[in-house]
Amino acid sequence: MQRHSAGGPAKTLREAAEQLAAAGEAITALMRDAADPVEPRLSPGGLRVLSVVSVRPGRNLTTVAAAVGLGLPRASRVCAALESAGLLLRRPTAADRREIGLRLSPEGEAFLERFRATRVDRMAAVLRRMPTDERGALVAALGELAVAVAAVGSERS
pLDDT tens, per residue, the chain with 157 residues:
344 445 566 678 888 889 889 988 998 888 877 777 777 778 888 999 999 999 989 899 999 999 999 999 999 999 999 999 999 999 887 777 778 899 999 999 999 999 899 889 999 999 999 999 999 999 889 888 888 888 887 787 6
Predicted local distance difference test score (pLDDT) of residue 51:
93
Give residue 157's pLDDT.
Answer: 61
Q: How far apart are CA 74 and CA 89, in angstroms?
A: 17
CA distance 31 to 46: 15
What CA–CA distances, in Å, run from 68 to 10, 46, 114, 151, 154? Answer: 33, 9, 21, 20, 18
pLDDT at position 68 is: 92
Q: What is the pLDDT of residue 3?
A: 42
The set of residues, in sequence order, having a beta carbon less than 8 Å from that of 89 and lying 6+ positions away, is: 83, 102, 103, 104, 105, 108
pLDDT recorded at residue 6: 53
Q: What pTM was estimated for this model as a whole?
A: 0.73
Euclidean distance between CA atoms 1 and 99, whole angstroms? 49
Q: What's residue 155's pLDDT? A: 80
Per-residue confidence (pLDDT) for residue 7, from 0 to 100: 52
